[in-house]
């Protein structure tokens, strides 16, 4: 037992991988619940809950699970040194969640989640534009191959004219989450994981309450337990993600995010009979290969920088 604790405390990469995989499993379960709420409502002739309303209740109930931490640590625990950065991250995350849940309503889980793996590639492009990082031949080729994989998944490369707003939803969601990821990495230097998650849920709920108040519908009794479960899973997922980013580098954690695709595909097959198409599988593995290549290149680049500065 003592050796296990010592290994945990001295192995930041292992801790980061553990928390990232835990995050992926939590969100795979949430993805399945979103799909379930939509399909069951349609099967009994009801109008499915809008994506923004599902996201609102998820954030609201997520706060319930984080309330003990806030009460234990008092109002002082809610102070942040980066209010503007927190605000930008919250807005991006709220938009990303709504886009993501809308995609899950209309697309098979495996396809939607696979398209969201364009996120790391968008992050790399964003780092070039906003952080002035250099994109060499190796990184550029990996990004290009990754976007080709995204085309395979959406099948727009082989079926001209099929690109639709629905196919773009998970891509736009990935762009929002990528921007939020860059901000989380900066925030974890000074803010605790609990604070980062609390801010997200605390301010996402009021943002999404506005459209829910004017355009939402009252959930049926059978839907409330699922919404409550989503809140607990969301609080756990965001906490795991913040702990992962606080443990080790983002580039090291990227490959572990593939757990989300395999877990979501399994949920889709087991719960809804959604067998991923041939092109979805091919595109997913092409995209994963590109991301692995990109993350390995990032690791080598950081190693060289450490050697130069040492």
CA–CA gap between residue 149 and residue 155 (Å, rounded): 10
pLDDT of residue 164: 64
Residue ranges of alpha helices (H) inside the chain are 2-9, 12-43, 51-73, 83-106, 109-115, 119-130, 137-154, 165-187, 193-215, 224-247, 250-253, 259-272, 278-309
Determine the average pLDDT of the residues in 80-108. 87
Range in 51-55, 80-84, 287-291, 303-307 with the lowest mean pLDDT: 303-307
The dihedral formed by the CA atoms of 284, 297, 86 and 207, expressed in degrees to the nearest 10: -10
DSSP 82: -
| Average pLDDT for 162-169 | 70
pLDDT for position 231: 93
pLDDT at 310 over 80: no
DSSP 276: P
**Could you tell me the pLDDT band of residue 308, with boundaries at 50, 70 and 90?**
low
Contacts for 187-191: CB closer than 8 Å, 24+ residues apart: 187/80, 187/82, 187/85, 187/86, 187/89, 188/242, 188/245, 188/246, 190/81, 190/82, 191/80, 191/81, 191/82, 191/86
Query: What pTM does this model have?
Result: 0.79
Residue-level pLDDT at 298: 64
Of the chain, the end-to-end C-alpha distance in Å amounts to 35
Distance, CA of 212 to CA of 57 (rounded, Å): 9
- Yes or no: say if 25 and 259 are a contact pair by the CB < 8 Å rule: yes
pLDDT of amino acid 210: 92
In this predicted structure, the answer to whether residue 162 has a pLDDT above a threshold of 60 is no
CA distances from 54 to 129, 131, 193, 224, 258 (A): 33, 34, 24, 10, 25
Average per-residue pLDDT in the chain?
A: 81
**Cα 291 to Cα 122: distance, rounded to the nearest angstrom:** 11
Buried b (16+ CB within 10 A) or exposed e, 265-285: bebbeeeeebebeebbbebbe
For residue 202, name the pLDDT band (cuts at 50, 70, 90).
confident
For the chain, give the longest Cα–Cα distance: 65
| Whether pLDDT at 24 is above 70 | yes
CA distances from residue 236 to 19, 193, 197, 226 in whole angstroms, order as listed: 10, 11, 9, 15
Share of the chain above pLDDT 90, in %: 21
Instruction: Give per-residue pLDDT as tens, 31-68.
Output: 999 999 988 888 888 888 999 999 999 999 988 888 77
Greatest mean pLDDT among 113-122, 123-132, 209-218, 293-302: 209-218
Which pLDDT score is estimated for 174?
Answer: 86
User: Is residue 188 within 8 Å of 245, Cβ to Cβ?
Assistant: yes
| pLDDT at residue 5, rounded to an integer | 65
**Which pLDDT value is given to residue 130?**
65
> Tens digits of per-residue pLDDT, 222-248?
999 999 999 999 989 888 888 887 887
pLDDT of residue 219: 92
pLDDT at position 276, please? 87
| DSSP 8-state assignment for residue 157 | T
Task: Tell me how far apart the alpha carbons of residues 65 and 37 are, in angstroms, rounded to a whole number.
Answer: 22
């Amino acid at each position: 037992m003592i050796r296990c604790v010592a290994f945990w405390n001295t192995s930041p990469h292992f801790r980061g991988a553990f928390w990232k995989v835990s995050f992926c499993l939590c969100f795979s379960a949430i993805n399945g619940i979103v799909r379930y709420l939509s399909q069951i409502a349609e099967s009994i002739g009801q109008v499915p809950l809008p994506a923004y309303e599902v996201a609102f209740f998820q954030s609201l109930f997520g706060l319930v699970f984080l309330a003990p931490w806030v009460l234990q640590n008092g109002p002082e625990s809610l102070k942040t040194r980066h209010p503007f950065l927190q605000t930008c991250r919250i807005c991006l995350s709220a938009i990303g969640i709504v886009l993501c849940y809308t995609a899950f309503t209309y697309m098979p889980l495996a396809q939607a989640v696979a398209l969201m793996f364009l996120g790391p590639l968008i992050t790399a492009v964003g780092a070039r534009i906003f952080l002035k990082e250099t994109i060499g031949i190796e990184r550029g080729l990996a990004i290009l191959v990754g976007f080709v994989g995204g085309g395979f998944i959406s099948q727009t490369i082989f079926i001209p004219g099929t690109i639709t707003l629905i196919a773009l939803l998970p891509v736009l969601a990935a762009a929002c989450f990528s921007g939020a990821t860059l901000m989380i990495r900066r925030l974890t230097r000074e803010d605790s994981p609990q604070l980062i998650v609390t801010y997200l849920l605390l301010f996402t709920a009021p943002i999404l309450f506005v459209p829910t108040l004017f355009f939402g519908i009252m959930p049926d009794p059978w839907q409330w337990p699922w919404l409550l479960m989503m809140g607990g899973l969301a609080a756990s997922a965001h906490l795991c993600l913040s702990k992962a980013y606080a443990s080790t580098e983002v580039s090291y954690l990227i490959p572990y995010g593939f757990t989300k695709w395999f877990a979501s595909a399994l949920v889709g097959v087991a719960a809804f009979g959604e067998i991923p198409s041939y092109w979805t599988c091919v595109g997913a593995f092409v995209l994963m290969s590109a991301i692995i290549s990109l993350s390995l290149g990032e690791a080598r680049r950081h190693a060289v920088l450490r050697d130069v500065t040492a």
